[in-house]
Amino acid sequence: MVSLSFNNAHSWKYRQIIFRFAMALLVLGSFSASIGCAIGFDTLSNGEKTSDSDREGTDPRNVNTDGLLTIHTTTSIISDWVKVVGGERVVVESLTPAGKDPHTYQPTAQQVARLSNSKLVISIGLSLEGQNISPLLQHSLSRNAIRVELGPQTNPIKLDLHRQSGQHGHRNTYDPHFWLDPSRTTIAIKQIQNSLTSADPEGTDYYSDNASGYIKKLSNIEKSIRSTYESIPSSNRMLVTSHEALGYLEDTYGLQIIGSVIPALSTDAGPTASDLADLIDIIQLTKAPAIFMEEGIQEKVTTQIARDTNTKIIEGLRVEYLNEGETYLQMIQRTAELIHNGLR
């Protein structure tokens, strides 16, 4: 396990070098103009403009040739929300396509080029966007772009430092996975509604109606998944996962987070030998009934831990992104049923 941790670290450093080299080529090439305009750009959480004036010859609404408002998002989950609220008045482009992890996905050069011309960008924030996307949000937006971070406004929960060995020293770190609690998602939907209304005042009533209808659906599904989680025997409500992504299930529904293979909020981190030894100890101590394995995340290590602890593996956990054709409501319902079936 020690050698595996070393390889993860070596691979991570190598990806960092390749990414920085690629970014340098972009800066020196066709995107230098847009990046140069990003000096002094501040992250905004409430949709404020970074400049009082728009570039000459551009429409402050950022409409396309069909008269639709173009919105850039950082995850497929946000894209689903914006499509629901924006309906037929918007076109949504995501930096992370459906089926891809926003922690690790590398946007294409074409995506970066379109992002550099965007007027409205909606992200999760709270360090959800990984090492490939966060620098783009900092350096590749035009200075009159509006950037909205949803996470900070959703009453996010703080990182549990005693459990998160990969995050020592970050006492103001918050869990970005707020969407596992539909009541917090309601706050995000209202933010999206306000952002679209500000960018497109003519659609005010339309956005309001769409948001109101969706918020009712969120209320209904919250009741449904709460009932699902509460039907798990109390002695079995223990979660072991690939990485720390289910903290809101503990905060909102009373499930207990025992530990994770990667004791960090991002999948681009890696476990140490000490982390793995600690996880094995706590699984054996608590007799946690299952390990929920996320596709593509330390699968070999997870399988070995399950063997060492004689614990069953539940495959199929996925909460970071949507698959093609899947909606957010379907995803959180599926997640609740997967956990219920694995722990009952």
Both structure tokens of 326? 């899947």
Q: Mind listing the pLDDT tens digit for each residue in 65-99? A: 578 999 999 999 999 999 999 999 999 999 999 99
Q: Is 180 left (phi over 0), alpha (psi -120 to 50) or beta?
A: alpha
Judge whether 344 lies within some domain: no
Domain count, the chain: 1
Is residue 87 domain-resident?
Answer: yes
Check the CA dihedral 157-239-214-118 and report its sign.
positive
Contact partners, residue 225, CB within 8 Å, separation at least 6: 182, 253, 332, 333, 336
- Whether 11 is in a domain gets the answer no
Answer yes or no: is 249 within a domain: no
User: How far are the Cα atoms of 76, 93, 136, 225 from residue 114, in angstroms, in the given order?
Assistant: 17, 9, 12, 38
Spans in the chain with pLDDT lower than 50:
1-61, 161-170
Residue 241 lies in a domain: no
Helix crossing, 204-230 with 76-86: angle to 10°? 130
pLDDT of res. 65: 53
User: Residue 121 corresponds to which tokens in the numbers above?
Assistant: 């960008």
Report yes or no on 199 lying in a domain. yes
Cα separation, 193 vs 203, in Å, equals 10
Residue that has been written with the tokens 């360090």 in this structure: 127
The count of other CB atoms within 10 Å of the CB of residue 289 is 20
Residue 70 in any domain: the answer is yes
Does residue 10 belong to any structural domain of this protein?
A: no
**pLDDT for the residue 17:** 41
Work out whether the CA dihedral 199, 201, 205, 208 comes out positive or negative. Answer: positive
Can you give the CATH number for the domain in which 126 is found? 3.40.50.1980
| Residue 145 domain boundaries | 34-155+172-221
pLDDT at 169: 40
